[in-house]
Structure 1
Amino acid sequence: MLATGCIVILASVPPVSRDALIHHLAVPKMYLRHGGLYEIASMHFSYFPMNMDLLYLVPLYFKIDIAAKYVHFLFALFCAGLIYRYLRQTLNRNYGLLGALFFLTLPVIVKLSVTVYVDLGLIFFSWASLYLIIQWHDAGFPPRRLILAGIACGLALGTKYNGLLLLPILGTLIPILYASEKNRAVFHENFRLRYKNAFAGLGWSAIFIVIALILFSPWMIRNMVWKGNPVYPLYNSVFNPPAQPVFSETVEKEETPAKNAFWMRRHVYKESFWQTLSIPVRAFFQGQDDNPRYFDGRLNPFLLLLSLAAFIRARQPCFPAFTTHRTVLALFALLFILFVLFQTDFRIRYMGPAIPPLVVLSVFGIRNLSDLASRQTGAIKKAGQAAVTAVVLLALFLNGHYVYSQFSHIRPQDYLSGAVDRGAYISRFRREYPVIAHANKVLPADARVLCLSIGDRTYYLDRDLHLAEDFYDKTGGRYSEADVINKLTRYNTTHVIIDRGVLFDWLRTLPTEDRAVFLNVFKNNTRVLYEENNVLLLELALQ
């Protein structure tokens, strides 16, 4: 209850997290203004699946956006409840409570619980799907539980594209679980029956995948209609291959290296191949919030160390199917983390679906250590039990210290006490907010605002808005004033909000003649209405 209360307090401030202002609140707010879902061509992230984002329509409709954080946090509570249920069934109530508490207070879970993201929904649905598959195995393969697992997986796919990783992982585990269990009592020489069971397992896997895809299909159909790509913007070059350019015999095509995780780590962060390969271990020890180099989040080292302790040989298994459960949980977590490793860049929240299995394995590890200590006698036994208790307390202390540190960073007491009003609180974290607030006061209701170089954080703007993601791209291999003006006015733009510092930092990287193109466009075609924190509100005044 204390952990839940602390998280609720930390969440009770206006949303300022990056992706909430870019996407998870901004797009639903635009849907409300429009009166329904519609294509927002200037925002590629508006094509992402939005199961969780649609839930945020309710608090936004009633203008209580802080409540969207509570909605997100609910899925952490649901996941903790399912972890408790699983551990209570397999071990006992005390271990279940320990697992739920460990999960809820993990730094990355706390961080997500006080933001309006969607990752907690993905974590819950993926864990529910895995949990139901394990139950399906233990109960003798009743179809109902596999169908429910497929539904949970489909909801995960419709929450975030990272959920697509569930299909190959769970789709592979299902036939392995089915065939291994069915063939346990079959003679090795009976190849016909063994193959029959293997193909039956593949059939169950196909049913699971089809159910998941049916649940995911509304988002695929939407993107297929709008973009000709069911998973836009992923794999767009596959679904919408660009026209092949014609090269003369004397011109060589420039090869662009694939920017995978290893390329990013080598060229952006100057890490060696072995450093990159060790990320699945480093993430548990080196994570830092808001630092992409260190995975943009924090875990707890004991989440890894105690999970490894689950593989200590115990005097007797925790429960009859312990070995199978342990293997399935470990395989799922390992495969998911490895899949994430090979994405463009590694973020701890991207590996979120691996966290509940690791929490369960950690509790198994605690149980194994306790069992190992109980085998001893006399002073060794007491010392061993004390050591296990100390490890558990230290692990929870690290989590508790992170929760405590968030009060210094988020400072909810300032807002909740009334010492700082809503606008001042948001301005602490988002320097573009004063200009956005001014635009909401002075711009006409029919204004159309282009937001440039403010990190796409548009949620607080109460006017029709759009982005120009290609604004700084060359057209035809060059910059021209006509092209820049065309991009400025593409959506009948009347006003522009731009961060001058970001713009000038970028302009300094250009040759003088290219720099002059942009400076002339803004000098001759805009008028400054307001400026604060180096962010400008401009009115278009085309010559």
Structure 2
Amino acid sequence: FGLGLVGLFHPWAAYVITGGLSLAAAPQLWRLFQQGRTWKFTNPPHPLVVVYLAVIGLLALLVALLPPTDWDGLFYHLTAPKLYLEAGRIVSGIDVPHFSFPSLMEMLFAWAMLLRGDIAAKLLHFSFAPLLAGLVYLTARRFLSQKSAWPAVVILASMPMLGTLAGWAYNDLALAFYQLASLYAALCFLQLAVSGQRSAVSDQRLSIIALSAIFAGLAMGLKYTSFVTPVVVGLLILWDALRTTYHALRTTSHPLRSTFYALMPFLLFCLIALLVASPWYLRNWFFTGNPVYPFLYGLFGGAFWDNFRTEWYAAAGTGIGWRPSTLLGLPWLLTLGVRDANYWDGRTGPLLLLFLPLVIGWALFRRDDRPPALNALLFYMTAQFAFWTLGVIWSRALWQSRLLLPGLVALAPIAGWVWSELPRLDTPQFSFSRFVNIAVVLTLALTVIDTGLLTQKINPLPYLTGLESRDDYLTRRLGAYYAAMQQINTDLPLESTIVFLWEPRSYYCHLDCRPDSILDEFPHLVDQYQTADAIARNWHDVGVTHVLIHRNGLQFVLNEQPETIDTGVLSALEENYLQPVFDVAGAYQVFEFEFEGGSSLRAGD
């Protein structure tokens, strides 16, 4: 981020700094390697677990090694870094609100793209999958029980969305990792307090709090929605501080000093988390005037934004509402994925649904005989689920199961612990644990088959073995979209400025392409200028030379919100100001924009 601000987005800078950091880390890595040679695995997984994890991981890796085709990657996760690298620095003044979201992952992608390219960026996100699995293992083993560690990993890996996201240039796995890491460090802090090491100013406890805060700040550097984690972790630390304060006030002659020492971990957590997260919010403040752009427009305002776009983006009142039947059915709908904004990255799998009633039962009826950290994990998971539920109640745009991934990741250790405790319910007449084990094995087998079929549909081997070129692969996977981008790159003049209508992806466009980021470009123009003539004059004033219309995207909006499209104004624009240049399979049409002397060139035809 700092290199981008000072204009040092160049490969030589990336290689020099990467080499320097590698040399600095080499001694520590060597020590870890030496320790690893003598390390004994005290809790080996079942061979079937090894096979399952290896197959699922390999299938995800095959997809991660392919050129990017994922929607949000082509929309903004990779597009923003690409534009910054082309400019050699981080630039402002781009009307894509998602570029102003917290951008830690985009900066990591930029680093990978400088070193190797966009596939390296995808692999960077893939690397968070094993890191996340390892953290789930550690969480279950340290805070619940040793025998629950591998069941927790299996439940995590049973979610089809995990493998799907691992193969894409998204930020969700990194977000889940940083949030769980913050909670993990906080649980270590609380564990020291429970074990009697309660000295509020001990270096060990403060260093653990600092680590938790750093991870919380990194999470806030990925998504606005990550604020749930610092709030929950902060409350856990504050609760411990209040208990310490209550005890100190009863036993000390210096209540103010004792209160300050007790609150120091909480204050330190808040300070460090805000400092780590602050670069992205300060960037927005300087670039747009709004630290949380484009949200809270009524309070802060913001460039390129107005009340129309605020209402359009929020889509308030379009969610599921407060119907009890729908709310109670949310876990089932999550499992099916049929209501998700994107089915493929929203599948949680049936294992979590299978274990959810058991988790609820254990939470209600085993209040005394359970690990102390379980309450904190349940609190964290419930807070994540409650926040996500409020979102889907409010707006259909927020029905995205992957936004719940941090909560589902926290559920995995809990479900793994419940799974490991099921033999308690066995009787001579019926083994409930064996019944669950059979259901789990069948579910995992079906998951492998399903994932294998999806990978076969993608067919990665021709590209990975060199039998298929990058262009051929992208044409096969992206079809008319990639063909349209290629034709724009080759057929239009280099100085062209192309406005996209109903197409938010511009990664493969090498000219000055201005995507329709939230599918509001045309309705917003109509709201501002009312007539085709006024819209044409605005396009002329801002230097537009061509217009791309995504007909399938237009039809999607007409099916969902027909009242938002003024077809009369669109027809007038096409008839009077747009000259066809080329058409790709009827899906994408590119027009040359014609305007001269304040009127259409064809006004007199």
What TM-score bracket applies, with the shorter chain setting the length?
A: 0.7 to 0.9
For the 8 Å contact 2:241–2:266, the answer to whether it is kept is no
1:264 aligned residue: 318
Counterpart contact for 1:154–1:215, Cα < 8 Å: yes
Distance in 1 of aligned mates of 2:552 and 2:268: 54
Matched, 1:73 2:134: no
**What residue is the counterpart of 1:325 in the other structure?**
373
Aligned partner of 2:70 among 17, 24, 31: 17
Distance 1:33 1:371, change over 3 A: same
Alignment of 1:480-519 (within 5 A): 480-503=531-554, 509=562, 515-519=567-571
Report SS of the residue matched to 1:536.
Answer: strand
SS at match of 1:139: helix
TM-score calculated relative to the size of structure 2: 0.75
Question: Which residue of structure 1 aligns with residue 221 of structure 2?
Answer: 158
Give 1:473's match in structure 2, choosing from 524, 539, 556: 524
Looking at structure 2, the residues matched to 300 and 506 of structure 1 have their Cα atoms a distance apart, in angstroms, of 30
For the Cα contact (< 8 Å) 1:103–1:356, is it kept in 2? yes
Deviates more, 1:277-286 or 1:111-120: 277-286
Whether 1:533 aligns to 2:585 is yes
CA 295–2 in structure 1, closer or farther in 2 if over 3 Å, else same:
closer
2:150 to 92, 97, 100: 97
For residues 394 and 332 of structure 1, the distance between their equivalents in structure 2, rounded to whole angstroms, comes to: 30
Could you state the TM-score of these two structures normalised by the residue count of structure 1?
0.83
Structure 1's 135 and 280: CA in aligned 2 closer, same or farther, altered over 3 A?
A: farther
Aligned match of 1:246: none
Any idea what the Cα deviations from partners look like across 1:370-417, whole Å, max 9, x if unmatched?
Answer: 3443xx5xx447x34532432442443354344224224433245445
Q: How many residues align?
A: 514
**CA 1:490–1:396: 2 relative to 1, 3 Å:** farther
Give 2:211's aligned residue.
148
SS of equivalent to 1:528: strand
Q: Is the 8 A contact 2:61 2:167 kept in 1?
A: yes
Structure 1 stretches of 5 or more lacking a match?
Answer: 243-255
In 1: Cα distance, 2:554 partner to 2:432 partner: 61
Q: CA deviation at 1:223?
A: 0.8
Q: Among 575, 583, 586, which residue is 1:523 paired with?
A: 575
Q: 1:449 aligns with which of 476, 479, 498?
A: 498
Q: Is the 8 A contact 1:178 1:197 kept in 2?
A: no
1:362 partner SS: helix
Q: CA RMSD in A?
A: 3.8
| Aligned: 1:5 with 2:62 | no
Are 1:227 and 2:292 matched, yes or no? no
1:219-298 pair list within 5 angstroms: 219-240=280-301, 263-266=317-320, 273-278=323-328, 280-288=330-338, 291-292=340-341, 297-298=346-347
What is the CA deviation profile of residues 226-264 of structure 1, one whole-angstrom value per residue up to 9, with x for unaligned ones? 22211111212122399xxxxxxxxxxxxx999677x32
Query: Which deviates more from structure 2 when the two are superposed, residues 11-20 or residues 327-336?
Result: 11-20
* Richer in helix (by share): 2
Q: Residues 174 and 205 of structure 1 are in contact (CA less than 8 Å); yes or no, is this contact kept in structure 2? A: yes
Where does residue 208 of structure 1 map in the other structure?
A: 269
Q: Is the 8 A contact 1:446 1:464 kept in 2?
A: yes
Gap change, CA 1:199 and 1:338, over 3 Å in 2: farther
- Cα offsets for 1:274-300 (capped at 9, x unmatched): 134225423443324x84397961113
Q: Which residue identity lines up with residue 112 of structure 1 in the other structure?
A: L
Shift in CA distance, 430/230, structure 1 to aligned 2, threshold 3 Å: farther
Q: Distance in 2 between matches of 1:517 and 1:3?
A: 50
Q: Aligned equivalents of 2:187 and 2:283: distance in 1?
A: 33
Higher mean C-alpha deviation, range 76-85 or range 305-314: 305-314
Structure 2 equivalent of residue 341 of structure 1: 389
State percent identity of aligned pairs. 24
1:170 Cα deviation (Å)? Answer: 1.8
Flag the 1:506–1:110 CA change in 2: closer, same or farther, 3 A.
closer
* 357-366 or 69-78, larger mean C-alpha shift: 69-78
Query: 3-state SS of the aligned residue for 2:524?
Result: coil
What residue identity is the alignment partner of 2:103?
M
The 1:305/1:291 distance shift into structure 2, 3 A limit, reads closer
> What is the CA-CA distance between 1:113 and the residue it aligns to?
0.8
Distance 1:35 1:297, change over 3 A: same
Q: Take 2:563 and 2:382, find their aligned partners in 1: how far apart are those partners?
A: 44
Q: Which amino acid aligns with 2:547?
A: V
Which of 94, 100, 103 aligns to 1:41? It is 94
Per-residue CA distance 1:176-206 (angstroms, 9 max, x = gap): 24445786xx599889999998876655333
Instruction: Tell me if structure 2 keeps the 8 A contact 1:312–1:365.
Output: no
Matched, 1:411 2:464: no
Shift of 1:272: 6.6
Query: Does the C-alpha gap of structure 1 residues 303 and 504 become closer, same or farther in structure 2, counting only changes over 3 Å?
Result: closer
TM-superposed CA distance for 1:515, in Å, is: 3.9
Paired with 1:487 and 1:430, the residues of 2 have a C-alpha distance of: 32
